[in-house]
Amino acid sequence: MTAHKLETPEVDLVYDVHGPLPTADGRPPLVMIGQPMDATGFRVLASHFPDRTVVTYDPRGLGRSIRKDGRVDQVPQIQAADVHAVIQALGAGPVEMFASSGGAVTALALVAAYPEDVTTLVAHEPPLIEVLPDAKAAERARAGFRDAYQEKGWGAGMAAFIAMTSWEGEFTDDYFAQPVPDPAAFGMPAEDDGSRDDPLLSDRSWAVSSYQPDVDALMAAPTRIVIAVGEESRDTFTGRTSVATAQLLGQQATVFPSHHGGFLDGEFGYPGQPEAFARKLREVLDNAG
């Protein structure tokens, strides 16, 4: 693995290249992106593709990518321009792409703005509130974990976030009538360290979950777009957004093993099924025809 830094006036973007460029097999590089997850989150998944040149990166302001624009918000269109710059720097585009969570939102913005950059996009569980029939209630639920974080700190905010993202079905009165979740129930500290800059729990990434995909641009793009949903998470918030996004694009969501973090091995929390997930991803990428 070789780390690279792409310096721009607004940000120093750090990305990692696993394997040779040009690629040894003549296939496009496989780019893996997340948000707020950085390159470390794709360590295990990348290891299941030793025959491919895999590229991972840290989004601006996250991990090793240092912002110089004086901003702290995460905006899909800006991050899409960053990924476009990385693809150009590789000199090996167009690429294949696996994008998860907020990274899947970035990827949809990328394909809409730079349709020649990506041949196949597997967008795994993009958390797009606006595609839901209960969008207003979902926005209220999102504000709930933000408020818990602002009032009581990381443990309370993360407990409320887990409660939201594990809720199955629409956000009804029953959801909002629940007692405030106890961080200890999730093995999290109740103590408040005073920080309020978490990119997931603050409102810094609200532009990501509020993003409205440009359906016309996506349908017109030459990119093959596959919306993926976890087998275990299809009824949860991000599962429902995936199914709804796929419907907007005239397709059915492709079911992948496990859940929202299905490609993780437990290093960052609830473990998925990374080996089975990687097999499914390889199958989808290999069936591009």
Instruction: Say yes or no to pLDDT of 12 above 60.
Output: yes
pLDDT score for 93: 85
Could you give the domains of the chain?
A: 2-128+211-286 (3.40.50.1820), 132-210 (no CATH)
- The β-bridge partners of 67 are 11
Helix (H) or strand (E) holding 123: strand 118-124
pLDDT score for 203: 93
> What would the pLDDT profile of 194-214 be if each residue is shown by its tens digit?
999 999 999 999 999 999 999
Do residues 12 and 6 make contact, with C-beta atoms less than 8 angstroms apart? Answer: yes
- Helix, strand and coil in the chain, % to nearest 5: 40, 15, 45
Mean pLDDT, range 238-249, rounded to an integer? 98
> What would the pLDDT profile of 30-55 be if each residue is shown by its tens digit?
999 999 999 999 999 999 999 999 99
Instruction: Say yes or no to pLDDT of 170 above 80.
Output: yes
pLDDT score for 288: 66
Task: Answer positive or negative: Cα dihedral of 9, 223, 264, 170.
Answer: positive
Q: Which of 23-27, 76-80, 236-240 has the lowest mean pLDDT?
A: 23-27
Average pLDDT, the chain: 95
Torsion angles phi and psi, residue 215, rounded to 5: -60, -40
